[in-house]
Amino acid sequence: MAIDLTIVNSQPMLAGVLSIHWLAITSTTIHKEFKMNIYGKQVVTRNGVTDVNKLDDLIADMVVHGWRGRPIIVADMGEWIQAFTGSHRLTAASVTGAIPELVWLPSGLTEDEWVGIHFANDDDDLLRVFQGLVANHPDMTAVVAVMQDEID
């Protein structure tokens, strides 16, 4: 089921936690710049929306059911929020007003640990990096579980 939507300069949704601006989607093309905010900070994704049909399906599902997807792995980078997974789910959530479930990377990662994360080539590499961080950051266990579900 393809959904054609046009949302231009929308008002902030979800009490300022999540908002979108200048979005126009058809079943074949994203026409305008997509901007999403969490807690007032712009979200930057690793991959962006690469499959509009997948996005259409997610939007249709979220319109009916709300958020049912896997949590999104995110990190507060100071001036922006980095999303490591879920670019399609985040876009669908922003269009439908669904509230995404977020799993945050710990704030105490070292510069060397960030280098490993940012140079991961794909989801498998990212999972290996996250797994290697659990010894020093036990709170990474939830991140590893979500990333494993992402790959499976």
Three-class SS of residue 104? strand
Q: Which pLDDT belongs to residue 136?
A: 94
pLDDT at residue 35, as a whole number: 63
How buried is residue 20: exposed, middle or buried, by Cβ count under 10 Å (0-12/13-18/19+)? buried
**pLDDT of res. 93:** 85
Residue 41 β-bridge partners: 38
pTM of the shown model? 0.76
Measure Cα distances from 42 to 33, 78, 127 in Å.
12, 10, 24
CA–CA–CA angle 145, 96, 72 (5° rounding): 15
| Per-position pLDDT tens, the chain of length 152 | 333 333 333 333 333 444 443 344 444 444 344 567 788 888 888 887 888 888 889 989 999 999 998 999 999 999 988 999 998 898 888 888 888 899 999 999 999 999 999 899 899 999 999 999 999 999 999 999 999 999 98
